[in-house]
Each structure stands twice: as structure tokens, then as C-alpha cells.
Structure 1
Amino acid sequence: MHPRAPTEPPDTTSLGSVEEIALSYLQTSEGDAGHALRCAIADALADLCEAERRSRRQDRLISRGYVRSALHEAVQQEEQNRATA
């Protein structure tokens, strides 16, 4: 597959965001649609991996928060039990 020669970009004011992104990848890859598609997929996968990493980190932080809260409540309950005993 031979890359096509770059062409003048169309007026993007009427294009939607998907078309603008696709055009940007196509221009960056100098008209090679296959290369543009592979770059777009690689970027999407990188973004997906980053989102999953952040989600796992957030889940761990939430879990730690529940553990800390439960521990704090248990300590408070024990202190109340000692005070009333």
C-alpha cells in the first residue's frame, strides 16, 4: 500500500469531532490511511490502559478509606465501651 500525497485539509468548521480527529491522524500520517488507523488504535489503547490504571488506583484508595473508617469506628466504639464500663 503506497501512501497518498497529502491534500489540502477541508474546512473543519463543519466537521464533527470524530471527523476532525480522523483527519488529523490522516494528515499526520501523510495520507496513509492504514498508518493513521494504527496510530489512532495505539493511542486509544494507551488511553484505555491509563484509564484502567487510574480506576484500579481509585478502587484501592476507596478500599483503604473503608478500612480506615472501619478501624476508626472500632477504636471509637472500644473507647466508648471502656468509658462506660
Structure 2
Amino acid sequence: MLIQGYENVRTLEADYVRCLECFFVMVMIENYSHHASDPRETSRLIDEQPYAQAYLREFLNDTSFLFEVIQPVIIE
């Protein structure tokens, strides 16, 4: 709905999904970099790894993930 509403105001480029996915990954990496230095954040960062790695896996495989349900990576 957000995308549809935005398109009522401005036309999106054909590859807007990939651009948004690049932005998503960039922000995720930036957020991890910011919080990694705080030992109080370590357990939460570890807990998020199955999800973060799933998004990175899809991104690196050039598979669109923005509007899809992504299964977390199983970490042994």
C-alpha cells in the first residue's frame, strides 16, 4: 500500500525493488556496525543472525526478498 500510495505522487523506476533491497542491506550492515561495539547488544545481535543471514543470502543470490517471506538460516 505504501508503494502504491507513493506511485500516486511519483513514478518509480523499473528497478525500484532492487534499489530498496540494496538500501535495506546497507542499513542492516550499518546498524550492526553501530551496535557491535556495545557488549549489551551482543546477545540480540546473535539472536538476529538467522534472519540477517537469510536476507544477505537472498541478496547475494540476486533473489528478490522485499515482498517475500524469507525463512531464517539454520545456524548449527
TM-score range, shorter chain: 0.3 to 0.5
Larger RCO, structures 1/2 (Cα 8 Å, 6+ apart): 2
Q: Which has the larger radius of gyration?
A: 1
TM-score, structure 2 length as denominator?
A: 0.33
